[in-house]
Amino acid sequence: MKKNIFFLSVFLAACGPSPEKYIEKSQQALAKEDYDSALLFMKNAYEISLPKEFFITDRKRSFSFLQASYNGERVLLVERKLAKNAYDTTKVYAIDRSKKEEKKKSIPGKIRDINLSPDGNTAVFLQQPDESIKKCNIWLWQIDKNEIREVSYSHCVTKPAVKNDGTVWYLRLDQIHIFNPETSKDTLFNQGRKPEKSTKKFPAYAYFYASPDNKVWLIYGAAGSYRLYQLSEKTLKLVSKEIASSKLYLVSENKIAGVFIGGAGNHQFVTLDPKDSKINRRMKAKVWSDAAFVSNGEYYYIEDGVLAHRKGDKETELPFWAEQIAVGTKNELLFLSSTGSAMHYANVMPPAESIKIYNKAVEIDDSKS
């Protein structure tokens, strides 16, 4: 049985649970060799100890998704719910950070995925009414108009996208569809031409992304074997057959799209030339759980749940556990913590008292493995 390894004297929170209370609960869990609970309690103690300036919203609120517009001014958030309430009505939030305004709507059921238009004016949600249903509904939120509506449906393993003009791009019955909210018309893209599967052994799923230069990208496939397409107004252009992940990233400096290519153990992260969309090989890399680019040579990423920063050859692990990240204004980092807090980091480290709590949490995390 592990011994009680620490007692920290930390300041009390103004209201609600204090860091001390969570530390005490963590010690009790350690005494029972329950390392998962002990770590979770310490993560909560750490976040409560942080100054409010580290939080985008009230630290008591918890979210399951975070995305930002490409200028970082608008943040899209989806509330996090308990597993027993997963299919209850879900609240979604759009925070305009420059105006300090918050808008919210409700969507029935569980939200499986989200996408925000590059300008941050429109959001699209993939909503599952019930666990037994494999067909998900697509909801469109025109944020500036504060209007939300259900527009279509798709497979529950997919990712619709929305462009700055408000059009929604998605796959239904292996055909690409475009929904126009101004006319309420749904049309087939490229006369219904279907994208090709990367392998016949597995079903193929579609992941759409809209970029600030008005392009739509499609990553299509499954099980680490995907094809990358660029969609113009009328054509479906195959860019690569060797995509390793269903995620597409944007390098903020030039708004260049980036993807992983290659097989297991031989992954490379590459950017795509904005003029002809040909692949430019950049660097060997692991497949991060998420990444956010400040420029070609500077980026944040999540590996094993921990946030890290790389600029040139210098790599730094940051004192945060994170699930999703995005670049905010003036190269700040926006992120969703592992407890669901919406936070931001702008090269200001937490106070010494908080770092002590973080270091103790890291010791517990290390002892688990």
The range of the structural domain enclosing residue 27 comes to 1-51+351-369
Is there a domain that residue 42 lies in? yes
Q: What integer is the mean pLDDT of 284-298?
A: 85
Judgement on whether residues 325 and 298 belong to the same structural domain of the protein: yes
pLDDT tens digits for range 312-335: 889 999 999 999 999 988 879 999
Is there a domain that residue 86 lies in? no
Both structure tokens of 254: 């030039």
Judgement on whether residues 344 and 361 belong to the same structural domain of the protein: no
What is the three-class DSSP state of 109?
coil
pLDDT of residue 5: 34
Is there a domain that residue 28 lies in? yes
Judgement on whether residues 361 and 312 belong to the same structural domain of the protein: no
Comparing 275 with 33, the larger pLDDT belongs to: 33
Is there a domain that residue 69 lies in? no
pLDDT of residue 264: 66
CA distance linking residue 61 with residue 79, whole number of Å? 8
Written as one letter, the residue type at 134 is K
Pick the closest to residue 301 from 346, 292, 265 (CA basis). 292
Judgement on whether residues 46 and 3 belong to the same structural domain of the protein: yes
pLDDT of residue 1: 37
- C-beta of residue 128 within 8 angstroms of C-beta of residue 87: yes
3-state per-residue secondary structure call for 236-286:
EEEEEEEECCCCCEEECCCCEEEEEECCCCCCEEEEECCCCCCEEEEEECC
Judgement on whether residues 355 and 332 belong to the same structural domain of the protein: no
Judgement on whether residues 332 and 369 belong to the same structural domain of the protein: no
CA distance linking residue 241 with residue 197, whole number of Å? 10
User: What strands, in cross-sheet order, belong to the sheet with 168-172?
Assistant: 161-162, 168-172, 175-180, 185-188
CA distance linking residue 50 with residue 362, whole number of Å? 16
Pick the closest to residue 111 from 141, 146, 68 (CA basis). 141
Q: What integer is the mean pLDDT of 210-223?
A: 91
Judgement on whether residues 339 and 293 belong to the same structural domain of the protein: yes
Q: What integer is the mean pLDDT of 236-254?
A: 87
Torsion of CA 54, 56, 60, 64, to 10 degrees: -120
- C-beta of residue 167 within 8 angstroms of C-beta of residue 186: no
Is there a domain that residue 246 lies in? no
Pick the closest to residue 143 from 74, 88, 212 (CA basis). 74
Pairing mode of beta strands 122-128, 63-68? unpaired
Does residue 16 register a pLDDT over 70? no
Is there a domain that residue 33 lies in? yes
pLDDT tens digits for range 103-119: 999 999 999 999 999 99
CA distance linking residue 126 with residue 109, whole number of Å? 10
- 223-257 burial, b at 16+ Cβ within 10 Å, e below that, comes to ebbbbbbbbeeeebeebbebbbbbbbbbbbeeebb
Is there a domain that residue 12 lies in? yes
Is there a domain that residue 6 lies in? yes
Question: What's the number of domains the chain is made of?
Answer: 2
pLDDT tens digits for range 267-283: 888 988 878 888 887 88
